[in-house]
Amino acid sequence: MTLAEEILTIGLCAVATMLTRFLPFCVFRADKPTPKYIRYLGKALPAAIFGMLVVYCLKNVDVTTGAHGVPELIAIGIVTILHLWKRNMLLSIGGGTVCYMLLVQCFFS
């Protein structure tokens, strides 16, 4: 990517973000009910989008060669167990990342 393309990419992210932040204040009124379909999407979208982002993070994992995605599988398992156990975001993210680094540096290198 050239510098101009980088700036454009960051700019597009900023513009899209501002659209989502400012739009409701331009379109909706506090005293009028929000359309039901919009309210439904508001509740239904987040879980689906974060599911998509998990898959997005793993998009370059090749299960046919190399480590076959085993380190990712183990580390995600550790994140899940840590999080269900303590519900502490920092511990789950930190612990999982350190485990993954150990796995790819020492065991699957």
Partner 1 sequence: MTVKEKKENRKMIVKRSFLAAFPKTIPIMTGFLFLGMSYGIYMKVSGFSFVYPLCMSLAIFGGSLEFVAVSMLLGRFAPLQTFLMALMIQARHLFYGIALLEKYKGTGWKKLYLIFGMCDESFSINCATEVPEGTDKGWFYFFVTVLNQFYWVLGATLGGILGTFLTFDTKGLDFVMTAMFVVIFLEQWLKEKKHYTALIGVLVSAGCLLLFGADSFLIPTMVCILCFLTVFRKPIEKAGGLS
Q: Rounded CA gap, 85 and 92, in Å?
A: 9
Cβ closer to partner 1: 43 or 65?
43
Nearest approach, Cβ of residue 52 and partner 1 (Å): 4
Q: Rounded CA gap, 68 and 106, in Å?
A: 16
User: C-alpha angle 16/92/61, rounded to 5°?
Assistant: 65
Q: Which amino acid is at 85?
A: W
Sole binder of partner 1 in the list 44, 66, 68, 85 (CB under 8 A):
44
Residues that bind partner 1 (CB under 8 A): 1, 5-6, 8-25, 28-30, 34, 37-60, 71-72, 75-76, 79-80, 83-84, 89-90, 92-94, 96-97, 100-105
